[in-house]
Amino acid sequence: MEDIMAQRGHEIQGMVTELIFSNEANGYKVCEVELEDERITVVGILPDVQPGESIAATGAWKQHSTYGEQFEVTSFEKTLPKSKEAIERYLGSGAIKGIGAALAKRIVDKFGEDTLAVMEQEPERLAEIKGISQAGACEIAEQFHQQRQLRETMIFLQRYGITAALAMKIYKQYKESAIHVMQTNPYSLADHIQGIGFRKADQIAQQIGIPLESPHRIRSAVKYILRESSGEGHVFLPLDLLEDRVYQLIGVTGIQVENALTELIMEGDVVEKEETGQMRVYLTSFYTAEQGIARRLLSLAEVRQDIAPEEKADRLKQVENAAKITLAPNQQEAVMEALSEGVLVITGGPGTGKTTIINTLLDILEGMDEEVLLAAPTGRAAKRMTEATGREASTIHRLLEIQYMQEEDAKQTFQRNETHPLEADVVILDEVSMVDVLLMNHLLKAIMPGTRLILVGDMDQLPSVGPGNVLKDIIASGCIKVVRLTQIYRQAGLSAIVTNAHRINQGEYPIFNQKDTDFFFMRRRRKEDVARTIVDVILHRMPKFAHCSPIDDIQVLSPMKRGYLGVESLNQILQEALNPPASSKKELEFRQIKLREGDKVMQIRNNYNTPWKVLNRFGYPLDEGEGIFNGDIGRIKTIDPQERCLTVIFDDKKEVEYDYTALEELELAYAVTIHKAQGTESPIIVLPLHSGPAMLFSRNLLYTAVTRARQYVVVIGEEDMVRRMVDNNRPTIRYTALEDRLREEISASALLEGR
């Protein structure tokens, strides 16, 4: 079948006879097109295409499981209809608001084949038609003019290899200025159009003939490099490193880069500052975020709660007696400080009592009738916090009441801010190591003076995926009160997971396969043997040993995304082993990945508008709401090819329906990267450690992976790789400056007080 379709070629030309489906938001259409000898179904981004118009399109033939053969468009041009019949069909299709079938017939009866020329050149003559006023004629002419602009823009853009979908986005952004922008500064696309970065804009610019040494090109390259470096966690780049990367990217250096930086500084896009003996270059948004965090943290820290030590001790004793526990001195210190300090950091590894401290604090604060808000960076971390405390915790995004301004481009804003702050006496934020500078700044904007802030986290975990190193920088600054938890408590001390995690963190090798252990090592020399053993452990050994579900209770974590033992490869291997194809299971292919009913999948971005429901066994809803979060894991329940959707049931029984257009939000999750597992826990962690780049295989990556397990850790691979990871404690350089901003603000305050 595919060979037959391929023989039909990649181009079609014909007249649109019927519009079957249209999405005005993104220009996606399904229509019937009449060729010379047949009628076909055409699908794709076809903005403003209407019945009666002729199109010439390139694309590919596809076989839809329900609707049969279709031609999927990648680019197209259209021409206005020429015959009276085609013009009448075009106008009567609703192409122009206010013209229906009856009025279209009267217009064409009056002007014949000259109808469209009259609409473009002499629109006032439309008022000669009964039912069209002079104002109506002007409105029709304006709509026709806009359609012509869109048509010309689409044709222009597609000449330069821009898909119809991106062309539609460009037109919506720039309207009638689109062609002018493309001819003068196509690099602005990288700033305004999601899906177009510097490299694509540069490719378009070269086709158009923009000079290689254009100031627009150099400025765009500088911003691109600073944005890309934020993906490595950097808030700034040293000037010499920035210049080196600019040279590697576009072969420009010296005075041209300096001139570009001067212009970007004047435009407010970047900040250049000499600090600690080096010249640093920041994107302005990152500089102001760190500056905002420093100012707001210190402002909150200044307001201390005036509670007598005796009262704090009494309240703590009451809670200890009620819970029949006795806190260790270090834990007591954390609770006492949290009752007074405006801002407090509590940091420690696994088994050091962070959860006990939070629960004790909550009991005391509730006894004082104080309003407490609990939050964490991710949905799964918030869920863990809820389970550990018995109180509702939310993501930071939901706490700040996120809203999307433009659904298509996911531009977000927060309803909670300086003018509409959070109403709370205390905010407790867990897993702070995962919070980047932009999100922390937004959170602090929404915390009003007088609210106490308690930051809880493990400073030795992997830092945030986004820019910054918030928790480490705050602690290193010495400007905020910190309580460090170092003692492992008795019950946790019995676990080899906890003791080995602390050994790893202190640079000592973990101890394997002790009697009655929860930490196992299985030596395998070859990668293929590692993969086979992973399947055996998940499918047979651990279910028999721990009486667990192979899919729901066991999580494979890998340091790498690619490679034979990376998550992409392991997911294919594990999918075939744990959920093989069967005639009873529907499946689909998306971006060369098969998704099958029963598959374990992960939501890979926060989507606060996605509706969910929880059903009882009879299919009636028990609960419903909105919001699925990055890191949520579930199973594919059903795939419906006819409706082009699939349904996922997540771990918390929430059922979500995904349209095929939203599948980029899902990934197979039999194996996930250690970075993706931050803030989560699984009963059993399986960790393949065989070979890979030294920069990935580090001590804190191993530490983070081990601390994700609640019951068992199984390491499979080379013992030497485990030792190398423990030894590899060279800190990954992150260019951040929150520590400097905090000390800078303290110095400025001291200087003012000295005056």
DSSP 730: P
CA torsion, ordered 151, 154, 160, 164, to nearest 10 deg = -150
Half-sphere exposure at residue 187, Cβ-oriented, CA atoms within 13 angstroms: 20
DSSP code, position 95: S
Rounded distance, CA 225 to CA 238, Å?
12
Q: In what order do the strands lie in the sheet with 671-673?
A: 519-523, 709-717, 682-689, 554-558, 671-673
Map tokens 């971005």 to a residue: 605
- Give the helix/strand (H/E) hosting 115: helix 115-121
Cα dihedral sign for 188, 193, 198, 201?
Answer: negative
Cβ pair 439, 396 in contact under 8 A? yes
276 marked as binding residue: no
Instruction: Tell me: is residue 351 an annotated ligand-binding position.
Output: yes
> Per the structure block, which two tokens stand in for 467?
């820019």
Tokens for 350, please give them: 């696994």
Q: Compute φ and ψ for 315, nearest 5 degrees.
A: -65, -40
Select from 62, 24, 64 the least CA-distant residue to 46.
Answer: 24
Write the burial class of residue 302 (CB in 10 Å: 0-12 exposed, 13-18 middle, 19+ buried).
exposed
Dist CA 425 CA 369 (whole Å): 9
Angle between helices 354-367 and 329-338 in degrees, nearest 10: 40
Dihedral sign computed on CA atoms, order 460, 464, 467, 473: negative
**Alpha carbon 200 to chain centroid, angstroms:** 21
How far apart are alpha carbons 29 and 50 in whole angstroms?
A: 10
Q: Whole-angstrom Cα distance, residue 338 to residue 329?
A: 14
* 352 in a known ligand binding site: yes
Q: At 421, which amino acid appears?
A: P
Contact 376, 429 (CB under 8 A): yes
Q: Which residues carry a binding-site annotation?
A: 351-355
Q: Which residues carry a binding-site annotation for ATP?
A: 351-355
